[in-house]
Structure 1
Amino acid sequence: MSRLPEITDLFARLASNLETLNPTATNEDQEAIDLSISHLNQSLNLEDSSRVRVLDTALSLMCFRAPQVFDSVIEYLVKTIVTVLSSSITCKAFRFGKAEFLRVGSRVSSRDCAGLIGACAAVLGKLEGHGLLSQSLLYAVVRVAVSASCFRFGLEITPILDVKSIEGGTPTVLKLLSRFPRDISFENQQIPLRLLLWYLDPLILKNDVSNILQDVIRRPFLCLKVAFHERTDWNSIIICLALSPATFVETRALLHNWFLMTGLASVLELQIELVSLILDVVSRPMWWGLTMDIGLKLPFSYAYFLHHHQLLRTLDGPLSCQNLLCLVRSTIKPASHSMRHSDSPLTQHAATKIGMINYKSQWSMAMNFPDWFYFALTVLFSGKSLHDNFHSEGTVEAAEPGHSHDPKLPCSTAAAQYIAWVLSPTSESHQELLVECLAKISESWALKKCTDKHNKETSGYRKKLKKIKFQDKTDDCALLQEYDCKTIALWLGEFQDTHASQGNSLQQNVLFRRISLGILIGCSNGINEDGCQLLLHYAATGNFLPLTETQIAGLKHRNWNSQRQDDSTAWFEKCNIKEAVAGTCLVFHLTDAVESMSTSLFENEERGIDFICRVKIRARKYLLNCVKKLICIKIDEEDGFLMLRDLCSRLARWRQQGKDVFQGSKDLDDAVDALSHKLSSIQTVSA
């Protein structure tokens, strides 16, 4: 019963019975069923001439009806098929001469699996309404197909790949996907069906990842962390990846290659989130719904990253200057050594560069932990004030003399080297230029801060304060904000000139623009909302928000505060929808990064919450201007409706991150109400 003809004969009998039993049978069909029962009765009679109807009498006494009998026939026939398929998978040791061999797999050949899957697909649709029979049958067939070997053995016991056996497998496997369950089950600790299908056909894994990526691209405000918890099919994908480190390695390699080919930030965002979630499942499996037994069987995190285990330990550890120095030492020096001693031909040199950025490289692993990039930016611009801004024992202090790292290397220099390596991992000379460039950028910002502080203490500044009578402290802040905004604009101009001198690679441009966010994270106390708008818009789009005459020339009217509000609104008149989407996404991602960083930078939870709220307060004005722009768009397609719905949910979540510091904020309340009203009106029209 382990060969294909016998198994397909069972499927044929099952299909025949399913054709006979139709839930929507008419009276004529019911008569046909009763006639079949009568024929079955005759086979149970002791004598052909006997008038004793054994089965009819038994059914009548037990109050059974004919459809119930057929349900039982189908149930036990399916169980028979499942048992036969399961028994075909064996683990057997045998001898050949003096050698011993261990055979693990199915006695059904891989060549016959296409026919087996086809027979299963033909009856799965008819098993609807029969409970879990269809899933148990599907699981048994897929398990046999996965266990079947693509190799055949001759008398010489030399394995030969049977190419014909694997041809045409994908079309037959695709027939099963329509009956594929979305959730995941660990009944009897079986391997999840989705994971078996990935083993059977890797193209299914690629399609699953591609479908998620398409949602990420067309829904820019979708919170992946929440979606992977709430969406059943996405949640099952994460669990299956956690159960199979080899499959996770393939998925990470696939996304990394897509990122290198396209440069899309959405691809990198999905890859980063998958890495974060897998590490989370490994660290707390029961929180993800896994049983204790399954959780104890999960491998260590190193199994999911086959290379650079020591680097993984550092990247997954707490943010600190000591660990940053460790990253610089472990990532940059090996790259410099390989480039310095590379005397190979041009093709080998190109292969070396490709190897430095493939999915096995240190750079690929570092890109999955963006908190270190933002931390390096913070260190770069904070300078000596780093300890004051992030007072936490053992997290921000540099290496002590006698430490294994170079005690002469300042933490800010290490930050510049790490950023340069992330921006240009394949060129040592370009890294050196970037380090010099970053040093000039940070020095330029430090000079702007010193000049700002000096100007505030000059007599001309104080004369202006005395000349204009302010009614309250708000007007005083307005004067300071005017100059801060102008200072940011001047610094961004210098930054853009430096940026233009470093090349025009799309990937490099996106990362290079985000360098300016280090000011917002580490030095946001000295920047007002208008200055933050300039920084955020440039980091998101690479463009400048146009300064108004009031902001350039200085304070000319006493009623500057109301004029400033008009100027702020005028900034966004020339911004398009694409820029508004990019700006909104940047604020959300920046807040998520700051929230993740706060757990390492502060031992005191309250200080960490204050850190998150400080960045939120500085970014609030820019976020609201972007949201107001998005509310005005016309929604004609489903994607537009989903985008606004995601925006409403993300805005509500952003408001609560850290803590809600915007209670009573009329602007934010109005934005949320406007979004909700627009969504309600769209749903009403659609209905």
Structure 2
Amino acid sequence: MATLEEITQLISGLALQLKAQPPTEECEQSSSLDLSIAKLTQSLNLDDDDDGASTSRVLDTALSLMCFKAPQVFDSVLEYSVKTIASVLSSSVGCKVFRLGKEEVLRVGSSISRRDCFDLIDVVGGDTLSDLEERGVPSLLLLHALLRAAVSAPSCRYLDPSMVVLDADLSARRSIAASKLVSHLPVELSSVNDKVPLRLLLWFLDPLILKRDISEMLQETMNRPFLSLPKELHERKDWHSILICLVLSPAMFTATRALLHDWFLLTGLRSILQLLIDLVSVVLDVISIPTRWGISMELGSKLPFSSAYYPYNNVWLRSLAGPISSEGLLQIVNWITDFKQPGPSINPSAAKVAFLDHKSLWSLAISFPSWFYFASVLVFADKSFKEVLYLEGTVGENAAVRYLAWILNPFDKTRQDLLSGNLIKLARHWTSKQVVSSVQETRTLGLKRRLKKPKVDDISKEGFTFGNQHGCQAISLWLQEYQNTAYECDFDPQVSMFFRWIPLGIFTGWCSSDINESGCEFLLHYAATGTMLHSVRRNEGFAMKDAIAGASLVFNLTDIVDRMSESLFETVGIADSYICKVKSRTARYLIKCVQRLTQPDACEVAGVQTLLDLVSRLEKWRTRGQEVALIEAELENAIHVLKSKFSST
């Protein structure tokens, strides 16, 4: 292994070469071919008192005759100097057995101490890397070797076989060293000879860089509420690089989940939870099908198993990440029931750590929201929908309310039981209202038979049509009872977005047309904002922030329903029909939100980038499943208005 002094000498030599001015091509072009031949002839007739300079002239002239330019030779010298330094640094990393007193010690890592590595970074991270990049000489090899040596460097120094000195308090120098190198990090994924990517090495050197990268990603997703994160992670070079590094390192992915989870617990912001959900989904997708994300089969074969990303029972991960089914939900609920939970007398802080931190089962469950929405569907599903899902009796309903109650309050068994019972009562109350309305309408029409409920895949050519049983008034009265349940269980329904999302199962699960347009808008607005929409007016009834929140809810709900339908239904036709019906129920509310965002002040308040993202999401939403004939013209007009704003801007 090379010594620090030898490596320093090599770097100093490289720095001197970089400071030297290379010969220019203009000077070379001034020399004619005849002059070159004359010099070659003269140099071959060596005199006895020649000092050796003629040998150099022979080489220069020969290179000139072979069309090698002096700058090319100079750059080649620089390139091989870089390769030499990188090889020496790489040779410093390895395993070595040595004696420490009477004992044998195995040292794994770099023979250069961490403090000395930081000294090398101070030299190289200054002008040397910048000069190499300016000269067009590849610097990634040197950067990779420096980072690898620094990451694997021990935190102690062996002054002699009997004396070990611990290098304490190097965190400040570590951050300074990392900051000098991070500016040289390429935007795209960068690795040397299929080794560890540079960004990942920087994360290991200084975890604050990982925090900075995730913070910047979160900030952009918050500023762009209609951003499609999977699309950005696939197409955007810097984010794609972050994604691949998270895939390659379960430790860093776990640290990222912990970071986002803690931020979510502190703020309760939906945007943080959405980023966490999307990252989990995309990372598992990359592991499952790496070629879909542009990863070679060779690199894909080196990806760790998905179970390495979670410190939980593998059965939990397979169940939550697997297909949605009533049997799967029942199994998950059985695990929750068997899991030992503290009573109300436990210290709240201890309960939060045990049941809410990033290592908890609850943190894993909220990363897979399809189960939450599926449970909400089962609570309010009618008989025809349960027949499609092959559900019998109240097994699905009881398991669903137990799961929802656990998500809302994972550490208080008493509150879970209270909330479960109330949810069952509210669900039956709603169903009884539906039955009464149907009976009254049947008597009014003078019919002697019950109204026939349409099947899941029964959609007319004109599209989905709404009934008249339940509108704003019925939904408002029911939601008031629903909110009283929240207060009885000691939590604020406006703060708990999980609580606000449960009623979405009323119309995502029903296959009939028992809710009219205004009733659907009322439910969606409550789920998006936590407030009652007392009057459904045109554009003037929506604040800008409510319009953004409402449209975002519709897009996310459609994505989740799309993933659910892949598991729930036997045929693609039934699944597309189900998605179409959900889109039909959300269409009018989406159009009103979008129309608010087409107003003259939208560019100034929401921003041009937000509207660009909105157009992209609208076009994707329109082509998902079957078209919604009811709003096709209005949707096309809204997209046209938004695009015209961009051209004028």
Match of 1:11 in 2: 11
Change (3 A) 1:573 1:496: farther
What residue is the counterpart of 2:335 in the other structure?
330
Would you say 1:459 and 2:444 are equivalent positions? yes
> Any stretches of 5+ residues in structure 2 without a counterpart?
32-38, 448-459
Partner of 1:297: 302
> In the alignment, which of 89, 112, 115 is matched to residue 111 of structure 1?
115
1:341-352 to 2 correspondences below 5 Å: 346=347, 350-352=349-351
Cα deviation code 1:73-115 (max 9, x no counterpart): 2112111211111111122234557754322211211011222
Partner of 1:371: 370
Matched, 1:541 2:552: no
User: Helix, strand or coil for the counterpart of 2:576?
Assistant: helix
Counterpart selection for 1:191 from 188, 191, 196: 196
Equivalent-residue separation in structure 2 for 1:319 and 1:580 (angstroms) = 31
Separation in 1, partners of 2:144, 2:85? 12
Quick one: distance in 1 between partners of 2:179 and 2:367?
Answer: 32
> What is the alpha-carbon distance in structure 1 between the residues aligned to residue 363 and residue 356 of structure 2?
6
Distance apart, 1:500 and its partner CA: 4.1
Question: Residue 339 of structure 1: SS of its match in structure 2?
Answer: coil
Distance verdict in 2 for CA 1:73–1:307, change over 3 Å = same
1:598-622: CA deviation from partner (whole Å, max 9, x where unpaired): 1110121111111111111111110
Q: 1:458 is paired with a residue of what secondary structure?
A: helix
Q: Tell me the distance in 1 between the aligned counterparts of 2:134 and 2:436.
A: 77
**Distance apart, 1:501 and its partner CA:** 3.7
Which stretch has the larger CA shift, 517-526 or 499-508? Answer: 499-508
Query: Which residue of structure 1 aligns with residue 476 of structure 2?
Result: 489
- Give the equivalent residue in structure 1 for 2:153: 148
Distance change (3 Å), C-alpha of 1:166 and 1:3: farther
Pairs within 5 Å for 1:311-460: 311-336=316-341, 338-339=342-343, 346=347, 350-388=349-387, 391-392=388-389, 396-397=390-391, 410-459=395-444
Mapped partners of 2:375, 2:408: distance in 1: 13
Contact 1:332 1:421 in 2 (8 A): no
What do the CA deviations read for 1:34-63 (whole angstroms, capped 9, x no partner)? xxxx9xx9xx99955567333443333333
Partner of 1:622: 589
Residue number among 513, 517, 526 corresponding to 1:529 in the alignment: 517
- Counterpart residue type for residue 14 of structure 1: L
2:64 matched to 1:60? yes
Structure 1 residue matching 2:186: 3-state secondary structure: coil
Residues 423 and 508, structure 1, Cα contact 8 Å, conserved in 2: no
Q: Does 1:520 align with 2:507?
A: yes
How far, CA to CA, are the matches of 1:664 and 1:203 in structure 2?
48
Paired AA for residue 508 in structure 2: I
Contact 2:587 2:631 in 1 (8 A): no
d(CA) in 2 for partners of 1:447, 1:134: 72
Please state if 1:85 is matched with 2:120.
Answer: no
Give the AA of the match of 1:511. Answer: F
Residues 226-261 of structure 1: CA distance to partner in whole angstroms, max 9, x if unpaired?
111111111111111111111111111111111111
Q: Among all aligned residue pairs of Structure 1 and Structure 2, give the percentage whose two residues are the same amino acid.
A: 44
Partners of 1:492 and 1:45 lie apart in 2 by 106
Determine helix, strand or coil for the equivalent of 2:157: strand
Conservation of the 8 A alpha-carbon contact between 2:75 and 2:137 = no
Letter in 2 for 1:120: V
Closer, same or farther in 2 for the Cα pair 1:374/1:677, shift >3 Å?
Answer: same
Residue 666 (structure 1) shift: 1.3
Single out whichever of 307-316 and 362-371 deviates more from structure 2.
307-316
Q: Which residue of 2 aligns with 1:101?
A: 105
What is the CA-CA distance between 1:493 and the residue it aligns to? Answer: 3.3
Alignment of 1:549-588 (within 5 A): 570-588=537-555
Residue in structure 2 matched with residue 611 of structure 1 by the alignment: 578
Is residue 635 of structure 2 the alignment partner of residue 668 of structure 1? yes
1:252-271 deviation line (CA, Å, top 9, x unaligned) = 11111111111111111111
2:178 aligned with 1:173: yes
Q: TM-score normalized by structure 1?
A: 0.83
Is 1:163 aligned to 2:168, yes or no? yes
Does the 8 Å contact 1:21/1:67 carry over to 2? Answer: no
Deviates most, 609-618 or 652-661: 652-661
| Structure 2 Cα separation of the partners of residues 663 and 458 of structure 1 | 30
Is residue 538–residue 592 contact of structure 2 (8 Å, CA) maintained in 1?
Answer: no
**Gap change, CA 1:159 and 1:245, over 3 Å in 2:** farther
Shift of 1:676: 0.6
- Counterparts in 2 of 1:285 and 1:98: CA distance versus 1, 3 Å: farther
* Residue 591, structure 1, aligned to residue 558, structure 2: yes
Distance in 1 (alpha carbons) for counterparts of 2:506 and 2:16: 73
- Asked if 2 retains the 8 angstrom alpha-carbon contact of 1:335 and 1:426, the reply is no
Kindly tell me: are residues 25 and 628 of structure 1, through their superposed partners in 2, closer, same or farther at Cα, counting changes over 3 Å? farther
Query: Matched residues in 1 for 2:23 and 2:237: separation?
Result: 30
Distance 2:174 2:325 in 1: 51
Superposed CA offset, 1:365-401 (max 9, x none): 101110000000000001533323xx25xxx536xxx
Per-residue CA deviation, residues 192-215 of structure 1 (Å, 9 max, x unaligned), is 111111111111111111111001
- Match of 1:220, SS? coil
How far is 1:150 from its partner? 1.1
3-state SS of 1:212 partner? helix
- SS of structure 1 residue aligned to 2:73: helix
- Residue aligned with 1:544, SS: coil
Matched-pair contact (CA < 8 Å) for 2:291–2:297: yes
Equivalent pair of 1:150/1:166 in contact (CA under 8 Å): no
SS at match of 1:105: strand
**Secondary structure of 2:187's aligned partner:** coil
- What amino acid maps onto 2:599 in structure 1? C
Matched residue of 1:92: which SS? Answer: strand
Q: CA deviation at 1:638?
A: 9.9
Asked if residue 257 in structure 1 is aligned to residue 262 in structure 2, the reply is: yes
Distance, in Å, in 1 between the alignment partners of 2:313 and 2:235 is 33
Alignment partner of 1:134 out of 119, 139, 152: 139
Mark the CA change 1:158 to 1:590 in structure 2 (over 3 Å): closer, same or farther. Answer: farther
When normalised by structure 2's length, the TM-score is 0.88
- Letter matched to residue 133 of structure 2: E
Q: 1:111 to 1:637 in 2, by over 3 A?
A: farther
Counterpart residue identity of residue 351, structure 2: T
Superposed displacement of residue 305, structure 1: 0.4
Distance 1:63 1:532 in 2: 77
Q: 1:640 to 1:661 in 2, by over 3 A?
A: same
Contact 2:494 2:530 (C-alpha < 8 Å) held by counterparts: no
Q: Equivalents in 1 of 2:172, 2:108: separation in Å?
A: 22
What is the Cα deviation at residue 331 of structure 1? 1.5
Could you list the per-position Cα deviations for residues 318-347 of structure 1 after superposition, in whole angstroms to 9, with x for gaps in the alignment?
2222211111111233243x338x7x7x4x
Tell me the SS of whatever aligns to 2:112. Answer: coil
Q: Which amino acid aligns with 1:657?
A: R
AA of the residue aligned to 2:636:
D
2: CA distance, partners of 1:172 / 1:137: 15
5+ residue gaps, structure 1: 32-37, 399-407, 463-472, 548-567, 683-687
The question of 1:650 aligning with 2:611 is answered no
Cα distance between partner residues in 1 of 2:47 and 2:631: 85
Quote the offset at 1:574 in angstroms: 2.9
Separation (CA, whole Å) in 1 of partners of 2:53 and 2:96: 53
Distance 1:24 1:593, change over 3 A: farther
Q: CA deviation at 1:485?
A: 4.4
Shift in Å, 1:461: 8.7
d(CA) in 1 for partners of 2:336 and 2:47?
Answer: 83
Q: Which amino acid aligns with 1:439?
A: I
Residue 661 of structure 1: how far off its partner (Å): 3.8
Q: What letter corresponds to residue 54 of structure 1 in structure 2?
A: V
Aligned-residue offset at 1:172: 2.1
Give the 3-state SS of the residue equivalent to 1:481 in structure 2: coil
Partner of 1:685: none
CA distance in 1, matches of 2:420, 2:178: 53
